Amino acid sequence: MHERAGKPAQDTDLIDVDKVVGAYYDLVPDVADPAQQVVFGTSGHRGSSLDTAFNEAHIAAITQAIVEYRASQGTDGPLFIGRDTHALSLPAWQTALEVLAAAGVTVMVDARDSFTPTPAVSQSILIHNGATTGEGVRTAGPGLADGIVVTPSHNPPRDGGFKYNPPHGGPAGSEATGWIADRANEILRSGGLASVRRVSLADALAADTTHQHDFLTTYVDDLPNVVDVEAIRSAGVRIGADPLGGASVEYWGAIAERYDLDLTVVNPQVDPRWAFMTLDWDGKIRMDCSSPYAMASLVERMTGRADGLAPFDVATGNDADSDRHGIVTPDAGLMNPNHFLAVAIEYLYGGARPGWPDGAAIGKTLVSSALIDRVAASLDRRLVEVPVGFKWFVPGLLTGEVGFGGEESAGASFLRRDGRVWSTDKDGLLLALLASEIIATTGRSPSEHHADLVARHGESWYARVDAPASREQKAKLAALSPDQVTSTTLAGQDITATLTEAPGNGAKIGGLKVTTEDAWFAARPSGTEDVYKIYAESFVSADHLAEVQAAAKELVDGALGDD
């Protein structure tokens, strides 16, 4: 824990924007260095221009690879492109547009020449592809749209990010991202920028293939079809929305005005240095709306008044591309993401969405709280447990077989009120509005509802820690088989399951999950650092959670050996 975690950023913590942007254009990647290659993680390619990991050559090569990939798939409709507020997002957006225009791709850019949340891009793709028609979303055939979002999500200000959403509207699967990354690195090896055809930015903006699209109006006008904004307005729920300097900043103001909500944008600032932020746990500026350290200012505003009166009934935060949510209540402060996911599921499946398919399942990632399992069982609903990554929820959300999909990292989405798909990417604005709907229709805060769940299903203690691991060890962890775990007990309880595949879809976890009657842990390698992550939960006590974590590390270290 950094000594200034949760404290306001100082001048020495801030990036030099000119230096970061200058490096984007000036530094040329050495593709022989793995750290400078194109690598797609669970949410696209990320890196910093200062490390020669996110530079003009990378983006030109990735965009050219996307042009070729979409052509190979027969995707010939418009490409919707959005960007967030990071310093590198605008330069990368411009590079991408220059390549797309040169290739003759029809591109839909924001009509306001402004920031676009990830869920708004997903929603526009899906609407174009038939989400609001009786026939449902098409994912094959002529005229299909896809998209690009230029964002590193909640990463620090020095970073950039670039992700591709195919015609299903959600994050691209590994088959697509693997092909795109391989082709992009091949382009970099064969000449980089010089081998990619481009036009000038002015010509790209003026091209017949470049069109303006009103992402904001499309998204905001459609909200009553997925959340009960009239109930929120009628109940007079007081909302404090903090965009954390991200892409939702203009959207929250438009939502308040469009639906006459008692909603205050508590911090409308956009600053690529994020000078107004408090530092995260490790001393970095990070727009992680699930972190009590990054959200310290909003939590203080809700809970720190001398008279004990909170200024809002609920306060919310979003990360830079608005695909994550943070929920702050007067009685509990910042809710643990797992707690709010469980409350949202109980509310939505408990009668709030009668228009949903009767068999719509509940989706969770395997590192999300087992409280969700207990809630699903009490609702007599099928639970679909998948590996880490929102892409695993896409097929179910498209068809309505999954009504809600959520991740422990505060990302989720759910169906429209009539059971059709809303978005196939995470939607932080939607989940924040759902918190207000819960207050409006039940008269109680989400944290009060969580207390009810605890009374019925038990209290749990949940945490994630990191442990050192070499690249060889990480590869070994990703390839573990259940029979390599020889222990029969975990922290004093019999092991009930040892998993290397997700029970919901049989997909490889890329790690290991071990469960007992009252606890579990999951270990998986980091895609960006020489560590592996241990997620653990106990329904016994905080001390028992510590035992589970220690036993997990010992068990995994034993399976990895001495490499």
pLDDT value of residue 472:
86
> What CATH number does residue 530 fall under?
3.30.310.50
Is residue 247 predicted with pLDDT exceeding 90?
yes
- For residue 385, tell me if it sits in a domain: no
Q: What is the pLDDT of residue 528?
A: 62
Looking at every residue in the chain, the average pLDDT score rounds to 95
pLDDT band at 357 (very low <50, low <70, confident <90, very high): very high
In terms of residue numbers, what domain contains 35? 15-218
Mean pLDDT of 168-189: 96
Whether residue 53 is contained in a domain is answered as: yes
pLDDT tens-digit readout, 468-513 = 888 888 888 888 888 888 889 999 999 999 999 999 999 999 999 9
Signed CA dihedral, 213, 215, 216, 217: sign only: positive
**Of 43, 49, 89, 153, which is the active-site residue?**
153
> 46 or 471, which is more confident?
46
Q: Do the domain assignments include residue 307? A: no
Task: Pick the last residue of a domain from 199, 218, 237.
Answer: 218
Residues across the chain: 563
Question: Among 192, 218, 244, where does a domain finish?
Answer: 218
- Asked whether 388 and 526 are in contact (CB, 8 A), the reply is no
140: which DSSP letter? S
Q: What is the pTM of this model?
A: 0.95
Instruction: Answer with the residue of higher pLDDT: 133 or 295.
Output: 295
* Strand arrangement of the beta sheet that strand 79-83 belongs to: 40-41, 44-48, 159-165, 146-150, 79-83, 107-110, 210-213
Q: Is pLDDT above 90 for 555?
A: no
154-163, 440-449, 457-466, 549-558: segment of lowest average pLDDT: 549-558
Is residue 155 included in any domain, yes or no? yes
562: pLDDT strictly greater than 70: no
Q: Which residues of 187-204 are buried (b: 16+ CB within 10 A; e: fewer)?
A: bbeeebbeebebbeeeeb
Tell me whether residue 264 is in a domain: no
CATH number for the domain spanning 24: value is 3.40.120.10
Inside any domain, residue 100: yes
Q: Pick the more confident residue, 12 or 526.
A: 12
Nearest by Cα to 79 from 90, 66, 88, 62: 66
Active site residue 460: no
The answer to whether residue 202 scores a pLDDT higher than 90 is yes
Instruction: Tell me if residue 469 falls in helix, strand or coil.
Output: coil
Predicted pLDDT of residue 474: 87
**Residue 140 — pLDDT band, cuts 50, 70, 90?**
confident
pLDDT category of residue 376 using cuts at 50, 70 and 90 = very high
In a domain, 208, yes or no: yes
Domain-embedded: residue 520: yes
| pLDDT number for residue 563 | 47
Element containing residue 252 per DSSP (H, E) = helix 249-259
Q: How much is the pLDDT for 269?
A: 96
Given a contact cutoff of 8 angstroms between Cβ atoms, the answer to whether 176 and 166 are in contact is: yes
| Confidence class for position 205, pLDDT limits 50, 70, 90 | very high
User: 203, 218, 233 — which closes off a domain?
Assistant: 218
Counted domains in the chain: 2
